[in-house]
């Protein structure tokens, strides 16, 4: 088991990690910017991406019980070489076994010091709908926390969460998806957001076409405090 925790070392490690990376504010709201990528996004030039005004990049890693994004491993390793902050997410399938999904993510995602915590994307329900939907999702979250030693970040939309999940998980950080708003609407059970995916038309030099753009709710010290550290 890998044990990660917040500590004073997080800031010290973050300083070293970020010193070679470009960090910038998205706009007048003073939010750090980031993007998420999957095999749908075509990378043209990593050097241009590194020099762009991004603070973090989150990669799609796994989906369900047996899908691995074909670009994940190479991009995950490339991001380590560039020194950029990276994250990885699992697309949670409500009709799949939560333990098998957790095993699949853990097998394929070797999170390290300086990475974002594990992230789980839950945004749809597939048939058959299980009476244990909420319990199964909590099982998945706890399995990831037990392995990585850090609570996962939950990616979702407000309408989905409020109508389907209706679970209060205030100790989990929120990555909220909402486009075309001045500020996101927070789902039941949360008081604030950590990351806000605010657009699907972000343009980044070095990437062909649009990508999803996100803002981090805080400054660079806040971002460093979220990253994983290891004993």
Q: Which of 1, 3, 90, 34 is nearest to 220 (CA)?
A: 34
Q: What angle do CA 12, 13, 19 make, to 5 degrees?
A: 95
184 within 8 A of 196, measured Cβ to Cβ:
yes
Length of the chain: 231
pLDDT, residue 20, reads: 34
Reading the chain (231 residues) residue by residue, the pLDDT tens digits are 454 444 323 332 232 233 333 344 444 467 899 999 999 999 999 999 999 989 999 999 999 999 999 999 999 999 999 999 999 999 999 999 999 999 999 999 999 999 999 999 999 999 888 899 999 999 999 999 999 999 999 999 999 999 999 877 878 999 999 999 999 999 999 999 999 999 999 999 999 999 999 999 999 999 999 999 976
Pairing state between β 195-202 and 173-177: parallel
For the chain, list the domains and their CATH numbers. Answer: 8-226 (3.20.20.80)
pLDDT, residue 29, reads: 61
């Amino acid at each position: 088991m890998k044990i990660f925790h917040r500590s004073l070392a997080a800031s010290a490690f973050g300083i070293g990690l970020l010193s070679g990376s470009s960090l910038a504010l998205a706009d007048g709201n003073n939010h750090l910017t980031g993007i998420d990528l999957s095999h749908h996004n075509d990378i043209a030039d990593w050097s241009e991406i590194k020099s762009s005004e991004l603070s973090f990049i989150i990669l799609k890693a796994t989906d369900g019980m047996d899908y691995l994004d074909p670009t994940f491993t190479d991009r995950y390793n490339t991001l380590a070489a560039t020194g950029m902050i990276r994250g990885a997410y699992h697309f949670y399938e409500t009709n799949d076994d939560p333990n098998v999904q957790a095993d699949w993510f853990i097998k394929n995602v070797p999170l390290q010091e300086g990475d974002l915590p594990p992230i789980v994307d839950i945004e749809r329900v597939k048939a058959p709908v299980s009476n244990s939907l909420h319990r199964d999702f909590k099982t998945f979250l706890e399995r990831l926390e037990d392995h990585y030693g850090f609570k996962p970040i939950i990616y979702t939309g407000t309408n989905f969460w409020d109508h389907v999940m209706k679970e209060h998980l205030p100790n989990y950080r929120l990555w909220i998806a909402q486009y075309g708003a001045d500020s996101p609407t927070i789902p039941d059970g949360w008081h604030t957001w950590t990351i806000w995916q605010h657009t699907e038309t972000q343009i980044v030099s070095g990437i062909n076409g649009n990508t999803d753009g996100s803002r981090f709710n805080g400054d660079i010290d806040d971002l460093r405090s979220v990253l994983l550290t290891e004993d």
